[in-house]
Amino acid sequence: MDLWTAIQALILGVVEGLTEFLPISSTGHQIIVADLIGFGGQRAMAFNIIIQLGAILAVMWEFRRKILDVVTGLPTRPEARRFTANLIVGVLPAMVLGVLFSDLIHEYLFNPITVAVALVVGGFIMLWAENRQHVIHAETVDEMTWVDALKVGFAQCLAMIPGTSRSGSTIIGGLLFGLSRKTATEFSFFLAMPTMVAASVYSGYKYRDLFQPGDLAVFAVGFIASFIFAMIAVRALLKFIATHSYAVFAWYRIAFGLLILATWQFGWVDWSSVQG
């Protein structure tokens, strides 16, 4: 592993960790940053699986007490069984649609311009969702029904479009469906766990030939960076939403998306992945 490769791995690991659980699209940022620093090809596909796994393990560690409480409570506590059932219901739409359409989406939509448009559109939707009057019927994740979980699960499917944001789709969807901001955010985190683990296992098996022993050091750098910065981002977000709305993320999305579109329109950046 040469120095520049190590730096690329570190940069992309940090980007993944910071953006995976914020409503600003980690996939979109990965596509744009990877294009800028020239990290692509089949090696990058395998690398992305590893750093996503690092991010999801970080949030699982952060919520380990809740996970342990649910697991140990399954035999005796109805709320633990209901919570588990909600997660299963919530993850099913993305699993089914992901298997059916992931290759087509990756082929036609994984480029910086699609990301930029989705960032801008999603930003305006977030502003609209934040400014409308909220009617809340679930103040905690334990108060959610299976119908709430299913609705959020379908909202999560929008994140298959790069730039939309998985956490953004589930959080804003939760707000629209009557969840409190804290509940929508926490359920988004919990829903990410089975969704991303399943996606990582599926992708890892599908692209198992891309994993080479010589890339172990590169993967380790990205994995560790993603794990550390995902934990930082999750803790910061939970503190932030206690007193703030998601409007700041919406404005960031709009500004960043318009910047990417401007660089493309005026030829300031050669977005190579757009060509052909």
CA 25/CA 30 separation, integer angstroms = 9
Number of residues that make up the chain: 276
Least confident of 2-16, 154-168, 204-218, 256-270: 204-218
- Residue-wise pLDDT tens digits, 156-199: 999 888 889 888 999 999 999 999 988 999 999 999 898 888 88
Cα–Cα distance for residue pair 155/50, rounded to 1 Å: 25
Strongest mean pLDDT among 12-21, 25-34, 89-98, 264-273: 12-21
Whether residue 274 has pLDDT greater than 50: no
Distance CA(255)–CA(239), nearest Å, equals: 24
Q: What is the pLDDT of residues 239-248, one digit of tens each?
A: 998 888 899 9
| pLDDT (0 to 100) of residue 18 | 94
Q: What is the pTM of this model?
A: 0.86
Each residue's pLDDT tens digit, 76-102: 999 999 999 999 999 999 888 888 888
